[in-house]
């Protein structure tokens, strides 16, 4: 298996909401390739966070890949707004999409990379039918809604299944993981086949600071 290189995607959910610009700059300076935006609507998940305005206001301060994770119902209604705000990639939750293929095609037609996220209890069965429309599969390693939750080990099996599917297809699709990603869980998810690591708490609350937290994740990747 050719192991793709590791990409780190700090989640602004764990940053100080009054200092997003400083956090975005710090992430880029520390070498983060992606900046992850956890968008929540209070319906698909209990929590409410940020919308396209947050991306738009940070676009001038960061050249990182803006990775928008939409934990919202009817995400197709907001894709144009996230594209206009400067999202480089948009990931929708499979459970929130009645017409998943159409929604993924809408993202790509707008010039962004298209991703699908699967909750911990969602099987990956639909993936073979949308593989050609995908740039990224996000295997949720917690139930979405809040930062700081414990990693669910049962998701490792799904990461392995998705890695096999992607390898067999030969398509250049990333596997992202999100939730409870730390220096302890990074070896597990990377060994299973994940290559994009979303992390909030383990980076922003790292005792040595964000840059040290990122180094710890890179060192723990296998």
Residue 180 contacts ligand DX5 per CB under 6 A: yes
CB of 108 to ligand DX5, least distance (A): 22
Q: Where are the alpha helices (DSSP H) in 144-209?
A: 155-169, 186-192, 201-204
CB of 151 to ligand DX5, least distance (A): 8
The answer to whether 178 is a known catalytic residue is: yes
Residue 213 contacts ligand DX5 per CB under 6 A: no
Q: Where are the alpha helices (DSSP H) in the chain?
A: 20-29, 52-58, 79-85, 100-109, 127-130, 155-169, 186-192, 201-204, 210-220
Backbone φ, ψ for residue 140 (5° rounding) = -70, 130
Residue 41 contacts Zn ion per CB under 5 A: no
Provide the token pair at 146. 């809040």
Residue 86 contacts ligand DX5 per CB under 6 A: no
Residue 178 contacts ligand DX5 per CB under 6 A: yes
The answer to whether 80 is a known catalytic residue is: no
Instruction: Answer with the entry of ligand DX5, Zn ion, none that 103 interacts with (C-beta below 5 to 8 A by kind).
Output: none
C-alpha span between 119 and 100 (Å, rounded): 15
DSSP tag of 15: S
8 A C-beta contact, residue 91 and residue 118: no
CB of 96 to Zn ion, least distance (A): 14
Position among 4, 86, 110, 145 found at the interface with ligand DX5 (CB under 6 A): 145
Q: Which residues are catalytic?
A: 38, 178
């Amino acid at each position: 298996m050719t192991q793709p290189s590791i990409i780190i995607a700090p989640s602004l959910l764990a940053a100080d909401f009054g200092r997003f610009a400083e956090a975005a700059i710090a992430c880029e300076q520390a070498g983060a390739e992606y900046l992850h935006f956890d968008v929540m609507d209070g319906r698909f998940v209990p929590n409410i966070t940020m919308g396209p305005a947050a991306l738009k206001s940070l676009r001038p301060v960061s050249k990182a890949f803006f990775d928008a994770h939409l934990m919202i119902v009817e995400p197709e209604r907001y894709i144009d707004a996230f594209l206009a705000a400067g999202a480089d990639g948009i990931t929708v939750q499979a459970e929130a999409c009645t017409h998943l293929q159409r929604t993924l095609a809408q993202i790509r037609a707008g010039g962004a990379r298209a991703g699908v996220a699967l909750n911990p209890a969602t099987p990956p069965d639909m993936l073979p039918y949308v593989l050609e429309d995908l740039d990224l599969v996000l295997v949720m390693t917690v139930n979405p809604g809040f930062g700081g939750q414990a990693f669910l080990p049962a998701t490792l099996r799904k990461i392995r299944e998705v890695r096999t599917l992607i390898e067999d297809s030969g398509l250049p699709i990333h596997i992202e993981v999100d939730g409870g990603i730390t220096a302890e869980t990074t070896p597990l998810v990377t060994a299973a086949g994940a290559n994009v690591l979303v992390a909030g708490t383990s980076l922003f609350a790292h005792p040595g600071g964000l840059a040290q937290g990122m180094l710890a994740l890179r060192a723990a990747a296998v």
